[in-house]
Structure 1
Amino acid sequence: MKYDSQYYMLKESGRATDYMLDKIEGSDEGLGHLMSLWSLKRHVIGPGRVGISEGNRAKFQPCDYHETAEQLVSEKFRKVLDPFHLPGVDFYQTNIVNGDKIWSEHYYMHIWNHHQAIHKKRSEIKGTYIGNRFTLLNLSLDEKVLDQVPLEKRLVFRLREDPTFLFHESVVAALSAADLSGLGFRRVDSWSIGSAFEEDDDDFYDDL
């Protein structure tokens, strides 16, 4: 269970939760595959376009993180991650459009670095691991798998079995120190499917 206290899940927080953003007409078609486990660099040739589907448009100002069907981050967010040289993490420039206003310094973050790292005995699911037909209820990470992966190759990764993205505590510390808006983290050992709906609190970053 040693990795359960080292990894965090990213989620929306604060005023970012007041809005829902979705792709709109004109977004590059290649960005429709952001949940894939392979690179999209050969498929994305233009920018993405995102609009506001829910929320007060008149008061909208973009945050550094917005959770659409994928993950939309600001240039400031991206620059925090640059020094880590993360393998299998790509950024695709995306415009946020609100009427005649356009914010261009945002990116879809595509995390295709992946590891089959769910500990099947300690984790809790609804469904079956056969064919990955399950909903993850509680997560514990498999140390036998992650011990074999150098840290620099697992600083940020997606679970191979499930579309859950994990951030190492060193990356979370850097993002936290950058004073970014719209995001928070839940540590794996304090996460459950129910915690995704809990209100943010002072312990959201746990003990970083």
Structure 2
Amino acid sequence: MNYDRQYYLLTEDSQSGPYMLVKNKKSDEGLSRLLAMRSIKRQVLGPGYINITLGDNGNFKPCDYHEVLPAGLVSEKFKNILDSFQLPGVDFYPAYIENRGNIWKEHYLIHIWQNHRALHPKRSVYDGTYENDRFDLKKMTLNEEVLDLVPLHERLVFRLHEKPHYLYHESVVVALKAAGLTGVNFLNIQNWGPGSAFATEEEEDDFYNNL
């Protein structure tokens, strides 16, 4: 089975894209471990704090999705949709957005630690050495021999073990799209590459035509 058609990455859209949001030093120290490929629940004891470092912060209003490294900052609405899938290895940590005396509390940093070594080593395009994960990924394609062995509920949302890219199965994307979320686009991995922008209108049409 070709899994490349089934998986998407999240990108910002024209609403969230003009702003750069980052964790600041007030954030709980445990949140520095959001790249860990294991649970960090025991390490996180408090909330994260997010501020704007780029963009006209006088016009800022939070979206349902912002690209805060590594896996994103999402609203309560976004979180509730993902929670409905009972995703293994996906956790949420409260984060407060602070801007010009305003505080928005109903947002969460995502930690996706469910991971699979799922890149196809021959069909993917990269500079470097695949065996020790020291490479720059140019084009990704998924290894069906690996994913065929993983039950669907364990790969609805996961991180590529080789590189920190976070993949969303089309069934989850359908639910997210139906909710009318702000700030997010969905980029099929077949169209991903260095410098990829947000999804085009043609991609949007193709997504629905292929369901």
TM-score bracket relative to the smaller structure: over 0.9
Match of 1:145 in 2: 146
Match of 2:58 in 1: 58
- Tell me how far 1:84 sits from its aligned partner: 0.4
Contact 1:77 1:180 (8 Å CA) reproduced? yes
Q: TM-score, normalised by structure 2?
A: 0.94
Distance of 2:198 and 2:164 partners within structure 1:
23
Match of 2:4 in 1: 4
Q: Name which of structure 1's ranges 184-193 and 165-174 shifts more when overlaid on structure 2.
A: 184-193
Residues 5-50 of structure 1 deviation map (CA, whole Å, 9 limit, x = unaligned) = 1111111112101100111131111001101101110000101000
Root mean square deviation, CA, Å: 1.2
Distance of 2:180 and 2:11 partners within structure 1:
15
1:202 aligns with 2:201: yes
- Tell me how far 1:200 sits from its aligned partner: 4.4
Match of 2:176 in 1: 175
1:152-191 correspondence to structure 2 within 5 Å: 152-191=153-192
Distance of 1:2 and 1:199 partners within structure 2:
23
SS at match of 2:207: coil
1:46 aligns with 2:46: yes
Residues 51-81 of structure 1 deviation map (CA, whole Å, 9 limit, x = unaligned) = 0011111100001000022210000100111
- Tell me how far 1:204 sits from its aligned partner: 3.8
Distance verdict in 2 for CA 1:90–1:5, change over 3 Å: same
1:11-160 correspondence to structure 2 within 5 Å: 11-70=11-70, 71-160=72-161
- Tell me how far 1:192 sits from its aligned partner: 2.0
Give the unaligned 5+ runs of structure 2: none
Contact 2:82 2:172 (8 Å CA) reproduced? yes
Contact 1:39 1:88 (8 Å CA) reproduced? yes
Distance verdict in 2 for CA 1:161–1:199, change over 3 Å: closer
SS at match of 1:17: coil
Distance of 1:12 and 1:125 partners within structure 2:
24
Equivalent pairs: percent with the same residue?
50
Contact 1:14 1:181 (8 Å CA) reproduced? no
Give the AA of the match of 2:45. Answer: I
Give the AA of the match of 1:115. Answer: H
Match of 2:194 in 1: 193
